[in-house]
Structure 1
Amino acid sequence: MTNKMIFVNLPVKDLPRSMAFFKQLGYTFNPQFCDETAACLVISDTIFAMLLTHDKFQGFMPKGKSLVDASQATEVLIALSCESREEVDSLIASAVAAGGSTYNEPQDHGFMYAHGYQDLDGHIWEVMWMDPAALQG
């Protein structure tokens, strides 16, 4: 199957604040899927993150499951590729300037360069660049 899309659902404590954070990183939102309880963060043509208020997120969860505070526990690591090492550094700098934080040092493996940030709710976003020549094998 082609043209698959991914929608990552993330609970957020303050939806307008989270939207402002991601806008400062250069992302946009699809207004067709935004209201006072949800916002569709556009990462690429096929990748989206649905930022959901805690109540909205809870409505999608199986009965008996409880919402985990991402600043206290990690359930998922979101990894995104970048076009260059410079784009990795730029995205991390933008995230920190917008109120996010880093939690480790950049990882330079020569053929791959990675770093990560935590958004305002503690969700971990790993961003990395891989040398295209290293992928040809």
Structure 2
Amino acid sequence: MTKQIWLNLPVKEASKSKEFYTALGFKFLEERTTPDSACMLVGENNFVIMLFSETMFQSFIQHNITDTEKSAEFLISIDAENRDELDALAQKAKAAGGIVYAAPGENQGWMYGCGFCDLDGHRWNVLHMDFSKMPKQ
């Protein structure tokens, strides 16, 4: 049945989005990159996020694209090895033109996290979790 799952994101300019994510340290498959798309790999298992120009993306969904200035359709969450890595990623996102909408900080006593928006307003959540401090049921 299903062998792999990937996420498709609409972007205004694939090349600028690729530059943004490259500045954050993400990798790309050049052989799957075109002027209207970029194939980004995330994490140890190489989760695929395809960045498609809005025109190309809309041809796939045959529906309206969410206006990320007014709403969010989803939240992409990734983990960080430690707090320093998380802090550095937030700084890189801001330096590359993104918006840090939630500064790095403690959450619920066992998570340390932050949130940023990319150039197209897609929201990312970065977490470092200490499961030994997680409340037990």
Distance of aligned partners of 1:5 and 1:113 in 2 relative to their CA distance in 1, 3 Å threshold: farther
Gaps (5+ residues) in structure 1? none
Per mean C-alpha deviation after superposition, the further-off stretch among 25-34 and 66-75 is 66-75
Aligned to 1:75: 73
Q: Please say if residues 6 and 46 of structure 1, whose CA atoms lie closer than 8 Å, have aligned partners that are also in contact.
A: no
Measure the CA separation in 1 of the matches of 2:5 and 2:132. Answer: 27
Query: Deviations for 1:99-128, whole angstroms, at most 9, x for unmatched residues?
Result: 001112334033111101000000000000
Gaps (5+ residues) in structure 2? none
Query: In the alignment, is residue 8 of structure 1 matched against residue 18 of structure 2?
Result: no
Residue 73 of structure 1, CA deviation: 1.9
After superposition, the CA RMSD in angstroms is 2.1
Per mean C-alpha deviation after superposition, the further-off stretch among 3-12 and 66-75 is 3-12
Distance of aligned partners of 1:135 and 1:31 in 2 relative to their CA distance in 1, 3 Å threshold: farther
Measure the CA separation in 2 of the matches of 1:71 and 1:107. Answer: 24
* SS of residue matched to 1:102: strand
Aligned to 1:84: 82
Structure 1: which amino acid aligns with 2:94?
A: V
Distance of aligned partners of 1:77 and 1:30 in 2 relative to their CA distance in 1, 3 Å threshold: same
Structure 2: which amino acid aligns with 1:71?
A: E
Select 1:93's aligned residue among 83, 91, 94: 91
Aligned to 2:16: 17
Return the TM-score normalized by structure 1: 0.87
Aligned to 1:112: 111
* SS of residue matched to 1:114: strand
Residue 71 of structure 1, CA deviation: 2.6
Return the TM-score normalized by structure 2: 0.87
Alignment of 1:51-66 (within 5 A): 51-61=51-61, 63=62, 65-66=63-64
Per mean C-alpha deviation after superposition, the further-off stretch among 50-59 and 106-115 is 106-115
* SS of residue matched to 1:87: helix
